[in-house]
Amino acid sequence: MFERKIAIIGCGAIGSILAKSIDEGNAGNTELRVLFDLQRKRAEELAGEISTSSRVADEIEDVLDDDEVDLVVEAASQEAVSEYSVDVLRSGKDLIILSIGAFSDQKLLSEVREAAEDSGQFVYLPSGAILGVDGIQAAEIAGFEEAVLTTRKSPETLSKTKFVRENDIDLSGLTEPRVVFEGPASEAVEAFPESVNVAATLSLAGSGFQDTRVKIVADPSLDQNVHEIKVRGEAGEFTTKAMNFPSPENPKTSYIAALSAIRTLRNLTGPIWIGA
């Protein structure tokens, strides 16, 4: 099997799960070489929690200049995607991006695509917190008539969002589900940056940010996030529903998002790739 030598940018919840999975041999034929975080102490603490001898980078150039690293995993932020992606690709390394919401910026998406094409490198976007991305991509070839993402969260969670506060939406005492936003993904990613990765993944896999509809619902019966996707087109009608449990490392992160990154590494280093 093909071995990949990994650098991780971002040592928070997902980066930590991924690093420990690589260290335990659960992320395919991979070797963790470098950890980088703007908060160096966080990278140092993570390095101390794993048995593999991994170098802590002082700056991003330490990652770019490491000729042994051939795959970089971004697990930091949308800002990190914007700042580092093009340089990573131009340094001759493939790139896994987890903060997919950064690509709601079409200019950035074009720049990253161009850098990948020019350098001959690849960019991988794991499916993250939603299900059925392979089917969505396949169905999109025949064309969509409708693509809708409905995200349901507790009123308590949504009441803390900037959109709800700025629009004076009162979710206190809610006894039944209430729609707090409905519109194209292009508007949803600005209104609800907390859900931008999910909306961006569906938009990129399907018919784009303008033609993908997003509905955000406050549901008092929930204590976890629910993402439901409905796609209708020439290939048929498909519905997926994910009720995600929080990460054991950070309750604000869906566990499945970290597991999706681990599966991507397994796919990249294994002899058989299942799915579209």
- Note if 227 is an active site residue: yes
* Spatial distance between the Cα atoms of 110 and 137, rounded to a whole number of angstroms: 19
SS3 89: helix
Query: Which amino acid, one-letter code, is at 186?
Result: S
Spot the catalytic one: 20, 33, 213, 227.
Answer: 227
Phi first, then psi, for residue 18 (nearest 5°) are -65, -45
Indicate the length of the chain as a whole number: 276
* Spatial distance between the Cα atoms of 54 and 43, rounded to a whole number of angstroms: 10
> Does 142 belong to an annotated binding site?
no
> Does 26 belong to an annotated binding site?
no
Helix (H) or strand (E) holding 262: helix 255-269
Phi first, then psi, for residue 59 (nearest 5°) are -150, 165
For the annotated catalytic residues, the residue numbers are: 227
Bind-site residues for NAD(+): 129, 197
Bind-site residues: 129, 197
